Amino acid sequence: MGAYKFEVFTKAIAQNIKDGVFKAGYKLPSVRMLKEQYGLSISTVQSGYDYLVLSGLVDNVPKSGYYVRSQSVVSVSEQGKRRPVIRDATFKKHLGLTTRSNDRGRLSEFNVAAPGDLLVPQKLLLRTMQQVIREQGTNLLRYYPASGSMDLKSNIAQRAAAYQTILHPEELFVTDGGLQALYIALASVCVAGDVVAIETPCVFSVLEIIRVLKLKVIEIPTLVDVGFDIDFFNKACVNSPIKAVVVTPNFHNPTGSLLSDDQKKRLLDIIVYYGIALIENDICGDLYFHGKRPSTIKGMDKSGLVMSYSSYSKTLAPGIRVGWLAAGKFTQRAEQIRFALGSTVSPIYQETVSRLLSNSSYDRHLRTFRMQLARNAYTAIHLISSYLPQGTVVQPPRGGYNLWVQLPLNTDMEAFYKHCEEVAIRFTPGFTFSFSGNFDTCFRMVFADNFSDQKKEAIQRLGERLG
């Protein structure tokens, strides 16, 4: 039988989807565009798209066009068996579920892990930027070193010393936010096919980097009350060739868990014994609600195996794309990767953050920010406890700005998210936090913005619809 005429473009689209060139959610060329490009009739192009839809590769969105379908992920683990399982890091994209919508006025958004407009220190940032521009002038228009401003790195190191973490400016790299820092750290120690241990639940952006780097993963349970399961991790180290572990000891996203100093030391002992690189996410370390700032594993390390990273996008403003990575013994490789990634972070952002760190401005802002977050946390818990079904479990976090909420196991989650849509409210679904899809009855609620009457009423209306 001869080939169908439409195969001239369907084969190319199918191959691009298979190779990962066209990602899930990618909008494909219109029918009219393909008609003109290949000299086909509209009916032939339409038949080709119908074939791709039937093949499970493409979705047809009425009045919008054709999009690459998100491929489902089949779990290879059984919920009842708690043993380390290595999985290929293939994962459908959930970007729309974790980013801000264009329809912000109507929606009550609790799905964006970044400070809301009302908690951003706008006057402080704008005033500091103006000072920097007046003083630096055209210097801000020149290239900065690939590794970042030396003044900024010195100020980062000086501030870290206040919480007993010694960072050497020579091992520090200024990055375009925390995500780039994590990418550099993983790429410095891993190649495609290597095994890394990650927390589960794990924030979606970390899973995406692992997918892009074509790494394999072992998911380590992370519980709200005790944090990262160190016994489980130790067992995994015995049975699997783990190259690196990515962990958030201070106010894990999404559970909000905090490891004790003893847990951190034990985890450090394990990675030193097995020679495993530990990549420490300390982005929320400054956002503690009570007492003093928690310690870092980096501050306890003498082996050089611990890399630590953070970002000011989460504590100042999402648009301040300034993060950093302390690369330890992997500095040389990290330097090569950072250079290969191209342009440096915006000089005006680097100078603004450096100025804030060099005086008391940043710490003054943090004190106010932490108090606001602590109040928001209790408001969120009160709303969840008051309006969501009996049996819903939520535990007060000691820092950060995430609540991990577990609904009763018999909850119809499809109906739940339909009700959320009806009352214009957004949470981040639990299934986006794992390669395995083990958290279907959970969701993350971000409380990094003030609770308007609209948001409170939306949660109340949701509770009424849930009965």
Share of the chain above pLDDT 70, in %: 91
Question: How far is the CA of 308 from the CAs of 23, 148, 279, 329, 370, in angstroms?
Answer: 30, 16, 6, 12, 22
What's the whole-number mean pLDDT along residues 315-329?
96
In this structure, what token pair is assigned to residue 148? 């970042």
pLDDT at res. 288: 97
Total residue count of the chain as it appears in this document: 467
Strands annotated E in 116-271 = 172-175, 195-200, 216-223, 227-228, 242-247
**pLDDT for residue 91 is more than 50:** no
What's the whole-number mean pLDDT along residues 191-218?
94
In this structure, what token pair is assigned to residue 187? 């790429």
pLDDT at res. 86: 57
User: Mind listing the domains of the chain with CATH numbers?
Assistant: 7-68 (1.10.10.10), 102-118+364-466 (3.90.1150.10), 121-361 (3.40.640.10)
pLDDT tens for each residue of 115-155 = 888 899 999 999 999 999 999 999 999 989 999 999 999 99
Please tell me the distance from the alpha carbon of residue 68 to that of residue 337, in angstroms, as a whole number: 31
- Tell me if residue 36 falls in helix, strand or coil: helix
**pLDDT for residue 32 is more than 50:** yes
**pLDDT for residue 408 is more than 70:** yes
pLDDT at res. 63: 67
pLDDT at res. 75: 33
**pLDDT for residue 242 is more than 80:** yes
The percent helix, strand, coil of the chain (3-state, each to 5) is 45, 15, 40
- Round to the nearest angstrom and report the end-to-end CA distance of the chain: 58
Share of the chain above pLDDT 90, in %: 70
pLDDT tens for each residue of 332-352 = 999 999 999 987 899 999 999
What's the whole-number mean pLDDT along residues 44-69?
80
Give me the sheet containing 402-406, strands edge to edge: 402-406, 442-446, 428-429
- Tell me if residue 309 falls in helix, strand or coil: strand
What's the whole-number mean pLDDT along residues 287-300?
96
**pLDDT for residue 78 is more than 80:** no
pLDDT at res. 412: 93
For residue 240, what pLDDT band results from cuts at 50, 70 and 90? Answer: very high
What's the whole-number mean pLDDT along residues 181-201?
97
The amino acid that residue 69 corresponds to is: R
Ramachandran class of 88: left when φ > 0, alpha when ψ lies in -120 to 50, beta otherwise: beta
Choose the weakest-confidence range: 61-65, 256-260, 361-365.
Answer: 61-65
What pTM was estimated for this model as a whole? 0.78
Ordered DSSP codes for 398-455: SBSSEEEEE--TT--HHHHHHHHHHTTEE-EEGGGG-SS---TTEEEEE--S---HHH
> What burial class does residue 152 get, using C-beta atoms within 10 Å of its C-beta: 0-12 exposed, 13-18 middle, 19+ buried?
buried
